[in-house]
Amino acid sequence: MSNVKTLPPAEAAEVVPCCPPLTSADLSEADAITMAAMFKALADPVRLRLFSRVASHPDGEACVCDIQDVGVSQPTVSHHLKKLRDAGLLSSERRGTWVYYRVEPGVLAAMAALLADRH
């Protein structure tokens, strides 16, 4: 029952264990830098709103034109979406006129695991 060789790779195999949990032991400098980069990606109100709009979109993906009304200019939106892409939180794909963003699966769960309490 515990055989996992038939599991599709879209479930648990995508969770990247980048670092040990925050509360388990001293973080190495390298791990701290890696983790800080992930949190930094979400440490901005505009990026948070953009991400939540993509994540909560019905089809799991959203066109930039559907989410870009967050109170800043269009270049700024593009700048923040690039940051979220570089952090591995979002991926983008151009289809015709529009560019669609979707949440990169697993990354959010991996971050949550870093904050999990030790037990």
Q: How many residues does the chain have?
A: 119
Q: How far is the CB of 16 from DNA (least distance, A)?
A: 21
CA 24 → CA 11, 81, 99, distances in Å? 25, 32, 40
**Would you put residue 69 in left (φ > 0), alpha (ψ -120 to 50) or beta?**
beta
Contact residue for a second copy among 11, 12, 39, 79 (CB under 8 A):
39
Least distance from C-beta 13 to a second copy, angstroms? 12
Q: How far apart are CA 19 and CA 16, in angstroms?
A: 9
Residue 36: CB atoms within 10 A of its CB come to 12
- 82 is a contact residue toward DNA (CB under 7 A): yes
- Of residues 2 through 31, those in contact with a second copy by CB under 8 A are 22-27, 29
Q: Which residues bind a second copy (CB under 8 A)?
A: 22-27, 29, 32-33, 35-36, 39-40, 42-49, 51-53, 55-56, 71, 103, 108-109, 111-112, 115-118
